[in-house]
Amino acid sequence: MTHEFDDREMERLLREEEEKLAQLRELVDSACEEIMGGRLDRQEATVLAQRVRRQAQEIIPDLMDQFDLIYESRFERLISQYIDAAGDGRGGA
């Protein structure tokens, strides 16, 4: 019976981690879409990225180094491509 408990516990933990990652994906995807929409200025987009990071810290506190490696540059690239470029009159595509 202990083995069954361990399997159930492991399944529960895996489900929780999957839910956290899905929540994080939704959060990041939503922010990226908002940035790509071009309705924000650089300051608003930067604040949005910072807010996403704070929320991610609540979801995955032990994985923030990886979050920063992956998403910090992604947000900066999107801001440059869709906001800075639009401000230069070049558009964002």
Summarize pLDDT for 4-54 with one digit per residue, the tens. 668 999 999 999 999 999 999 999 999 999 999 989 999 999 999 999 999
| Segments forming the whole domain that contains residue 56 | 2-87
pLDDT, residue 38, reads 86
Q: How far is CA 73 from the centre of its chain?
A: 11
Q: How many structural domains comprise the chain?
A: 1
Closest CA to 47 of 93, 55, 65, 87: 55
Domain contains 92? no
The SS3 of residue 41 is coil
The answer to whether the CB of 49 falls within 8 A of the CB of 41 is no
